[in-house]
Amino acid sequence: MSYHMDQILEAASIDIVKEKVTAALKEEGFGVLTEIDIQATMKKKLDKAYPPMLILGACNPGFADKVLSIDPNMTAMLPCNVSIRQLPDGKFEVSAIDPEVAMVPVGKDEIKPLAREVKERLAKVIAALA
């Protein structure tokens, strides 16, 4: 079982891909709460060169509220990460976590249908990028 869903895109820059991803997330009710620039962080902290790579922390407040109402410790599982990275051939891979794989092992039956619905929405985001 894969722990993520992905799509390969051709684009002139990671910023263009980020705009597409952010717009697709918005269409499914997600906002981007955090952004981590892996390339800049690794250069600054380790003086190591990385290709362009971002991690977007996506959140759908309605689903987050439902999950946290069931189990407040689920904060450790939020937000849903969506990553963008430049591949060696210059294309970009967009990858989203599979919330079912991440959240269902927690063992709360009430969370399973929520995780499934979030997965379906994130799958729509990924499909919309094609």
Q: How many CA atoms lie within 13 A of 89 on its CB side?
A: 6
CATH number of the domain to which 95 belongs: 3.30.310.70
The CB density around residue 1, as the number of other CB atoms within 10 Å, is: 5
Domains of the chain: total: 1
Structural domain of 9:
4-128
In this predicted model, what pLDDT tens digit does every residue of 56-101 receive, in sequence order? 999 999 999 999 999 999 999 899 999 999 999 999 999 999 999 9
Angstrom distances, CA of residue 7 to CA of 2, 59, 74, 124: 14, 20, 27, 11
Q: Please state the pTM of the whole predicted model.
A: 0.93
Count the helices and strands in the chain (H runs, E runs).
Answer: 5, 5
Q: Over 80: is that where the pLDDT of 106 sits?
A: no
Percent above pLDDT 70 for the chain: 99
